[in-house]
Chains A and B, each alone.
Chain A
Amino acid sequence: MSNCFSGNEAVAYAMKQINPDVMGAFPITPSTEIPEYFAQYVANGEVNTEYVTVESEHSSMSVCIAAEAAGARSVCATSSCGLALMYEMLYVAASCRLPITLACVTRALSGPININNDHSDSMGARDTGWIQIYAENNQEAYDNFIMAMPIGETASVRLPVMTCMDGFITSHAVENIEFLDTEVVRKFVGEYNPENYLLKKENPLAVGPYDISAYYMEHKVLEAEAMKAAKARILEVADEFAKISGRHYGLFEEYRMEDAELAMVLIGSSAGTAKAAVDQLREQGVKAGLIKVRVFRPFPGEELAQALSKTKAVAVMDKSEGFSANGGPLFAETRSALYDLKQRPHLIDIVFGLGGRDLKTEDVENIFARLADIAATGETGPVYTHLGQRQRRK
């Protein structure tokens, strides 16, 4: 078999190897190929998944919720407006503690209508109670999907998992990747055997009933605890995964951070560009480093603070505009995480890449030049800025 796969095909292939019980399917660019490849696997009898085509994403997530509640393992894929339309059900999935796995192929949200990549869709869903794991490239998209179920389904967690990859850049670009044998994947992922489920006749359940004030808060606290517990589980699963794949994953990746004084923090495929720029800067003697956040929910605040504690100036790169008037979501989390450090680096936020605007190595180099300046002068200048937009005509 050729190992040349697009990100979408890699994820569809991971799904095929896992052979889930149910898929809720509805198309939207750029994730459409995932249910399409999967339809072919179903039709060819390569999996025995119930493939449920529906009339909207609200329904595809509802199918997954019902299936998972009934004790079946369910998967789904979507992007942009599709994820936005699921919003109501994303909360239901998480609060019913149903470990559904959703491949989110990130794309800008309307409006204006735009089909290209940024993180406004997944970032909009960051507080829904889903674990979020982001990929830089096709290999990671594949690997993250395989790790998702062992993370989400474990008793201490029981939360749905969203694996995210960048629309078009990762989903449609073809790369050589290493696959695991299907046997190995099935053994790694195991069977989904929840203790309790809707259709268990010895112990039938009511799923999703009205939760009065006397109980609601307790349930929310349990959910919050589960999200905290997920951090350890993610690392445990990553260790097990390293044993079968030789590939090591943490909550984030530190690239040339050993002695870095200037650092960039970002998410997703832009890490490739940033790494190339960091390499060039290192050759020029600049102590530059990169942190690529892989797990955004649960947010690795303490670990990130530790990793940045020795730096002098840090640029956080947000690929979504949070409209908080105070910086993007990655910046808000990072800055808050650094608050407890005795010695904090200077921090700036740069919103970039909206609706598919490219990030170039020169851009990264310019940002590092700005960081060098900040480190030298102690003057941060404007904290929250945007990169690469044309100036408004006066």
Chain B
Amino acid sequence: MKACYEKYFRDNLPHIFCPGCGNGIVMGAWARAMDEMGLENNDCVAISGIGCSSRITTYIDLYTLHTAHGRALPFAIGVKMCKPDMHVFVFSGDGDCAAIGGNHFIHACRRNIDMTLIVINNSIYGMTGGQYSPLTPTGHFATTAPYGNIDPAFDICKIAEASGATFVARGDIYNIRQMIDLIKEGHNHKGFSVIEVVSSCPISYGRRNKINGAPALLRYIKDHSVPVANAAKMSAEEMKGKWPVGVLYKTEAKEYVEAYQELVARLQGGS
């Protein structure tokens, strides 16, 4: 029997993700969320940049646009402006979203355009073999930081909030049920929704950071993910090296396409 969410995949599986990679888990969670929301394939568009995580658009059976490194969001904005009724999902990696595409990211947040961005944060440039990204924690190892990374890391959720995103959440690949719910809530929210998913790259990140093997890395992620309600009660010292998971920020603000349509209607006298 086919699983209910299989209709969201093309028939080109298995995927190329390494054993233990979190990308497949996120892709599966997204498909379950799609199924629970009852979304039709052809009402949705998925857009990605370049990276292992961005390969998701190769496997899922929607309208998909696989673009250039860091540039998924401008493409997505183009789609949404032109087809406001489409449900737009964007898949991005930590490098794709926060390094080469960082500028697009803050401006997409600022506009509050209605789409769901899933940032798969494996703390590293996976595809190119393990260079540190702006989300690699300080002190952690990468091919470009063989003796430890001295750069402070971004908190991409805080950037999203500060830049104007109206739904900001963090999930992780251990708490899958929660991730599914966050994707659904993000999608149902009108405005720019950012969902960071803490994910794993056992090959390029785990191995180099002495977290050996996929189960160990998954356990590491589980042990460092703290539900927001608990995190609120913990001191900064207790939260050190850990991250809150759940909905971090939610507000209502004017959505961009709507604002644009209103402007057009006003100038053209509603014709």
Residues in chain A within 8 A of chain B (CB atoms): 25, 27-29, 32, 35-36, 39-40, 43, 53, 55-56, 81, 110, 113
Chain B interface size, under 10 / 10 to 19 / 20 to 34 / 35 or more? 20 to 34
The answer to whether A55 touches B125 (Cβ under 8 A) is no
The answer to whether B128 touches A55 (Cβ under 8 A) is no
Q: Is B100 an interface residue (CB 8 A)?
A: yes
User: Which residues does chain B contribute within 8 Å of A110, judged by CB atoms?
Assistant: 68
Can you give 8 contacting A-B residue pairs, CB < 8 Å?
A27-B131, A27-B144, A36-B129, A36-B144, A39-B144, A53-B131, A56-B70, A81-B69
B147 to chain A: closest CB distance in Å? 5
The answer to whether B146 touches A40 (Cβ under 8 A) is yes
Binary contact track B65-98/A, C-beta < 8 Å → 1, others 0 = 0101110000000000000000000000000000
Nearest residue in B to A51 (C-beta to C-beta)? B144
Q: Is B134 an interface residue (CB 8 A)?
A: yes
User: Which residues does chain A contribute within 8 Å of B143, judged by CB atoms?
Assistant: 36, 39
Q: Which of B99, B144, B145 contacts A55 (CB 8 A)?
A: B99
User: Can you add 14 more A-B contacts, CB < 8 Å, to A29-B127, A39-B146?
Assistant: A25-B144, A27-B128, A27-B129, A36-B129, A39-B143, A39-B144, A43-B146, A53-B132, A55-B99, A56-B70, A56-B99, A56-B100, A81-B68, A113-B50
Nearest residue in A to B129 (C-beta to C-beta)? A32
Complex Cα–Cα for A25 and B99 (A): 13
> Lowest 4 A-B CB distances belong to which pairs?
A55-B99, A27-B128, A56-B100, A43-B146
Nearest residue in B to A59 (C-beta to C-beta)? B100
Binary contact track B190-216/A, C-beta < 8 Å → 1, others 0 = 000000000000000000000000000
Complex Cα–Cα for A29 and B127 (A): 9
A58 to chain B: closest CB distance in Å? 9
Q: Is B20 an interface residue (CB 8 A)?
A: no
Segment 123-145 of B: residues with Cβ below 8 Å from A: 125, 127-129, 131-132, 134, 143-145
Complex Cα–Cα for A382 and B264 (A): 54
Nearest residue in A to B125 (C-beta to C-beta)? A27
Binary contact track B224-237/A, C-beta < 8 Å → 1, others 0 = 00000000000000
User: Which residues does chain B contribute within 8 Å of A35, judged by CB atoms?
Assistant: 144
User: Which residues does chain A contribute within 8 Å of B50, judged by CB atoms?
Assistant: 81, 113
The answer to whether B102 touches A113 (Cβ under 8 A) is no
Complex Cα–Cα for A83 and B144 (A): 20
A47 to chain B: closest CB distance in Å? 14
A53 and B100 in contact, given A27-B125, A32-B129, A36-B129 (Cβ under 8 angstroms): no
The answer to whether A28 touches B99 (Cβ under 8 A) is no
A89 to chain B: closest CB distance in Å? 15
B121 to chain A: closest CB distance in Å? 16
Complex Cα–Cα for A29 and B68 (A): 14
A105 to chain B: closest CB distance in Å? 13
Nearest residue in B to A53 (C-beta to C-beta)? B144
B10 to chain A: closest CB distance in Å? 16
User: Which residues does chain A contribute within 8 Å of B128, judged by CB atoms?
Assistant: 27-29, 32
User: Which residues does chain B contribute within 8 Å of A40, judged by CB atoms?
Assistant: 146
User: Which residues does chain B contribute within 8 Å of A39, judged by CB atoms?
Assistant: 143-146
User: Which residues does chain B contribute within 8 Å of A53, judged by CB atoms?
Assistant: 131-132, 144
User: Which residues does chain A contribute within 8 Å of B99, judged by CB atoms?
Assistant: 55-56
Complex Cα–Cα for A55 and B68 (A): 14
The answer to whether B132 touches A113 (Cβ under 8 A) is no
Nearest residue in A to B100 (C-beta to C-beta)? A56
